[in-house]
Amino acid sequence: MTHRFALRVYYEDTDLAGIVYYANYLRFIERARTEWARARGVDQLRLHRESGLVFAVRQIEADYLRPARFDDRLEVATAPAEATTARLVLLQEVLRDGEVLFRARVTLVALGSDGRPRRLPADLLAPS
């Protein structure tokens, strides 16, 4: 199941030409992943407090297809692609009016407070 997260491009998100600065797409998809996890019942702050568990991006493949501009209304679509007990791969797209502007394949892992890999929470691995 695909989760959708809406956002608007602010002046601070753009470069001198009024185009979204490339690194900000990573911020957009990070926010969307947080909301995706929250929608699945995962409270990351509580998880960290109670078990020391945090999520880390292990790998990301990004494809910049079209520019977003100042004041655009965007939507980030997030969908799980693969999962094991130790890693989760999500497909994320940034869209404007249904047109894909940016696409990423993100591999997440869970780390304990000691920085070592841990099992991912079952809520993230369960089918949507």
Catalytic site residue from 15, 43, 63, 123: 15
Give the DSSP H or E segment for 76: strand 73-83
* pLDDT at site 29: 98
Give the DSSP H or E segment for 124: helix 122-125
- pLDDT above 80 for 1: no
Residues sharing a CB contact under 8 Å with residue 79, sequence separation 6 or more, in sequence order: 1, 2, 3, 90, 91, 92
pLDDT per residue over 16-26, tens digit each?
999 999 999 99
Domains along the chain?
3-125 (3.10.129.10)
pLDDT per residue over 88-111, tens digit each?
999 999 999 999 999 999 999 999
The model carries a pTM of 0.92
**Helix/strand/coil for 123:** helix
Q: Identify the CA nearest to 105 among candidates 118, 127, 87.
A: 87
Active site residue 13: no
